[in-house]
Amino acid sequence: MRTIEPWVERPLTTFVAEAQVRVALLMTSSGMVVAQHGFTRSLDVMTAAALGAGIVASTREIAREMNAGTFGAVVHQGPRLGVYLMPFEMPTGTWIGLAVFGPDTSLGIVQLFFGRLVDDLGRDAPREAPARQVLPETFEDDLNQSLRALFGR
Amino acid sequence: MPLVNLTAREITCKLVYYGPGRCGKTTNLQYIHGRVPENRRGRMVSLATQSDRTLFFDFLPIELGVISGFTTRFQLYTVPGQVYYNATRRLVLQGADGVVFVADSQARRFDENVESFKNLQDNLLEQGVDIRQIPLVLQYNKQDLPPDLILSPAELDDTFNFRSVPSLPADALHGTGVFETLKALSTVVLQRLAARPPSL
């Protein structure tokens, strides 16, 4: 499990264990990863987050076009795996949860424990913004070196 | 705003390639995908129509490496260029840390470039972002075409570069200017981050 903020880890660990999901991902509405469980490669997590955020964004846009308020969860059920995708509000803005589950659990269970995850996150979220930290003074030199190394120019 | 993980020391930035239809946005990403070492990039995702026109977005995650102890990653997106896909353009633009505006240098495409640039300005404004504030790089693509068919970088600068941002001539199909463009935007975005303390 990897998380941006330490306080996210406990509720997400509980959710994964209780809902028996194979993959869990929390992201911001613009597709930035906040926490994840079950991925082996960070670049794959980013792809899943981009696609998940895209699905939620387009679903919300359809709801807006139809004057339907907001839609809730998006669920896709395949023969082996299901995907549950749900936006929710946090003090810092909209977050999106994505869970991939197999036949060892059910959509109802995932929904139930996802609701608890959202409650836990809302309760544990810091009331004040985290202390800000300035990047090192060498950042710009290191940046130029890395860009030259990657792009070879 | 770039997402900074102070615990795991990671920085993630969202960079968006914007421009009119068929200007070469997807070609930029395809070239980058083909040249960046496999261990530094993810799969390129293209949500395209049957005729390979971008329907929603193209997406390519790349890892820049460790900068001052921070593992730095970029999420590269393109938007669909066709005028009627504005709703999806707005969605992709949400939360962008920097924008490459890809202009088609062909003289006959000038009006479409202007329309797309205005559309970028409108869509940013709708998110409360002033185009004069967001990190922006201009790429003048298709500069390899015969000179009588295209506008020069100086002519295009006259119209689009009111901020004196980096502008680069390019031939994305063959890679000229592609990395230079990405490097220019990366530099502006990360310098801005270094100047302004990060937050979640």
Tokens of B55: 């329907």
Residue to substitute from B11, B190, B196, interface A, most A β-carbons within 10 A: B190
CB contact under 8 A, A146 and B61: no
Strand A2-3 to B167-169 pairing: unpaired
- Provide mean pLDDT across the span B171-192: 93
Strand A82-90 to B45-48 pairing: unpaired
- List of chain A residues with pLDDT < 70: 128-137, 152-153
Chain A residues with CB inside 8 Å of B5's CB? 4
**DSSP secondary structure letter of residue B148:** T
Q: Residue B19: which of B123, B95, B94, B97 has the closest Cα?
A: B123
In this structure, the number of other CB atoms found within 10 A of the CB of residue B162 comes to 10
Query: Which ipTM did the prediction report?
Result: 0.72
pLDDT number for residue B200? 47
- The size of the A-B interface in CB pairs under 8 A is 134
CB contact under 8 A, A130 and B199: yes
Phi-psi region of A31 (alpha: psi -120 to 50; beta: other; left: phi over 0): left
CB contact under 8 A, B95 and A31: yes
**DSSP secondary structure letter of residue B172:** T
pLDDT number for residue B26? 95
Non-local CB neighbours of A53 within 8 Å, separated by 6+ positions:
A27, A28, A29, A30, A31, A96
- Cα(A97)–Cα(A86) distance, rounded to whole angstroms? 5
Per-residue pLDDT reduced to its tens digit, B56-76: 889 999 998 888 788 889 999
Chain B residues with CB inside 8 Å of A50's CB? 45, 57, 59, 61, 75, 77
- Spell out the alpha helix ranges (H) of B94-152: 110-126
User: The pTM is what?
Assistant: 0.85
Task: Output b/e per residue, B29-52; b: 16+ Cβ within 10 A.
Answer: bbbbbeebeeeebbebbbeeeeee
**Residue from the list A54, A65, A153 with its beta carbon closest to the beta carbon of B91:** A54
- Cα(B163)–Cα(A68) distance, rounded to whole angstroms? 41
